Amino acid sequence: MILIGSTLGIGSSISYKPHFSNSLRTGFYIKAYSKHLCFNGGEDGKKKRVVVVGSGWAGLAAANHLCNQGFDTTVLEPSNNFGGADIHGIRGYWRPYKNIFGLVDELGIAPFTNWTAPAHYSVDGLEVKFPLFQDLPQLPTPLGTLIYPEFPQLPLVDRLTSLPLMAAVIDFDNTDTAWRKYDSITARELFRQFGCSEKLYSSILNPLLQVGLYAPAEQCSAAATLGILYYTILAHQNDFNLVWCRGTAKEMIFQPWIDLLESKGCRFVGSRKITDVTVDDETNCLSDILCGRERYEADAIVFAVGISVLQELIRNSAALYTKEEFVKVLNLRSVDLLTVKLWFDRKVNIPTASNSCSTLDNSFGWSFFNLNAIQDEYKDESVTVLQADFYHAIELLPLNDEAIVEKVKSYLSTCIKDFENAIVVKKEIGRFPESLTHFFPGSYKYMMRGFTSFPNVFMAGDWIINRHGSWSQEKSYVTGLEAANRVVDFLEEGSFAKIVPVEEDEPHVEALRGLNRRIDEIRSQLPFNGFFL
């Protein structure tokens, strides 16, 4: 079995019934393609081979579960950086990340800080200071996120204009119908339609979206906006609390994970750029992954790579170019990331460890993190060690290092004045073009499902369509487990990975969504329904 990617799957105490079971083990694929035709391994007692392409959360999740099920598993990483884009910069791990937290427990590691609450800055200074919601009395959504945060500059009347947006949140239930309904409009248009004030939009909503979805609101899908807002902020009061890695994700999570997999026989091969694939004309299965002159045979394949990497392969592969779902991927886009790690000559008082920020023209979003407060390595340093990540950084990447440092220092000074007199004594700058997913308006129709028209090829990643409801690292991890389950189903060996579902809606949200569905059903029966745009 060949896995493309590096996502691991770990079981939990909650059982999971794959939603694809009717279409796989008892459906189309098994009926149409005999395993004796598709499988290369297993006939003479050899393990069936799975190749996973990619070594981030999605790829390792798939590789982990498949390796545990006894498959001959190989992980191919196009770069030599296992973990891929998932380890660039520092990202938080939100409270709903139940599957990733389960993985960490299974690995027996303790990589995370205590629960923290972030702050948000604009060019005018502090805009929002979020509390530790779990320490406060529980209020029905969205009251907790509206009442408890401190808004030094945003009047109550502006905050109240966010309440009508709950109607869209109720209407958006993560179904295919909901995605198609909201994906065609921008997040800015969504906020305008539901009456958000200009100050709320420019000071809070747009900047937070630039960090959460990596692009300005006028370039973000309203469907993706509703999905991530609900998952990380609105579904439950505690959801916006998060933890951070006490070091880099690579050293704290990925390396122990990879070491464990290698001890179980999983092979990791880096610097292997996928140049083409081979199709068995009789079975329509992919039989080989080609990396230049090297060939990796596979009974099943999991692609767990980013959009830009897959697009390059599609352009160079005649086999993939014949499949509509792969050709549509060429319409998708990725976002540039810039990471800047700075050492200053003095200790600067940074009130909160993690902070999101906006710039004057709002052309990109950024965040900065106090590594002295987050990472064990820097806790006792007498200087300030800080990391800043810039999203949608297309206009920053061409600048030289000195110009970047000057800009970052200027941005930091608008948030915390003491940075004006601090001197940068060391720097580390990383440029990662086209490394983050861009959920632009209209992108949903081009994104792939977890299965493909090749019966033995499956997909995973944060841009893959699924119905779990999670986002970011958690979604990547979950889609990796889903891909592993599809492999298990297709090869008819092993057991399914258990996936912890997203926490259920609060009772009043569930009731409102039920009422909303009934109204939609009645509306669909009316004359001229669907006639107007």
- Over residues 312-368, the pLDDT tens digits come to 999 999 999 999 999 999 999 999 999 999 999 999 999 999 999 988 777 889 999
239 burial level (CB within 10 Å; 0-12, 13-18, 19+): buried
Q: Does residue 112 fall inside a structural domain? A: no
Q: Which residues of the chain have pLDDT under 50?
A: 1-36
pLDDT value for 529: 72
Same-domain check for residues 233 and 340: yes
Same-domain check for residues 346 and 393: yes
What's the CA gap between 450 and 458, in Å, rounded? 6
Q: Could you tell me which of 155, 107, 91 has the C-alpha nearest to residue 471?
A: 91
User: Which domain covers residue 255, as residue numbers?
Assistant: 49-94+96-106+248-331+443-491
Q: Could you tell me which of 374, 365, 304 has the C-alpha nearest to residue 337?
A: 365
Q: Could you tell me which of 154, 158, 227, 224 has the C-alpha nearest to residue 186?
A: 224
CATH code for position 256: 3.50.50.60
Same-domain check for residues 308 and 371: no
pLDDT value for 14: 34
Same-domain check for residues 210 and 305: no
Q: From edge to edge, which strands make up the β-sheet containing 285-291? A: 276-280, 285-291, 294-297
pLDDT value for 213: 95
> What would the two tokens of residue 22 be?
């009717």
Same-domain check for residues 221 and 74: no
Same-domain check for residues 431 and 465: no
In this structure, the number of other CB atoms found within 10 A of the CB of residue 183 comes to: 22
Q: Does residue 80 fall inside a structural domain? A: yes
Same-domain check for residues 219 and 361: yes
Q: How many domains does the chain have?
A: 2
In this structure, the number of other CB atoms found within 10 A of the CB of residue 461 comes to: 30
Q: Does residue 345 fall inside a structural domain? A: yes
Q: Note the pLDDT tens digit of each residue in 215-232.
A: 999 999 999 999 999 999
Backbone angles phi, psi at 438, to 5 degrees: -105, 110
In this structure, the number of other CB atoms found within 10 A of the CB of residue 264 comes to: 12
Backbone angles phi, psi at 523, to 5 degrees: -60, -35
Q: Could you tell me which of 471, 468, 465, 466 has the C-alpha nearest to residue 498?
A: 468
Q: What is the CA radius of gyration of the chain?
A: 23
Same-domain check for residues 358 and 399: yes
Q: Note the pLDDT tens digit of each residue in 359-412.
A: 877 788 999 999 999 999 999 999 999 999 999 999 999 999 999 999 999 999
Phi-psi sector, 392: left (phi>0), alpha (psi -120 to 50), beta: left
Same-domain check for residues 346 and 388: yes
> What would the two tokens of residue 56 be?
């981030």
Phi-psi sector, 446: left (phi>0), alpha (psi -120 to 50), beta: alpha
pLDDT value for 76: 96
The pTM of the full predicted model, rounded to 2 decimals, is 0.91
Q: Does residue 28 fall inside a structural domain? A: no
Same-domain check for residues 370 and 310: no
What's the CA gap between 262 and 258, in Å, rounded? 6
Same-domain check for residues 165 and 284: no
> What would the two tokens of residue 225 be?
């906006």
The DSSP line for 19-34 is TTGGGTTTSHHHHHS-
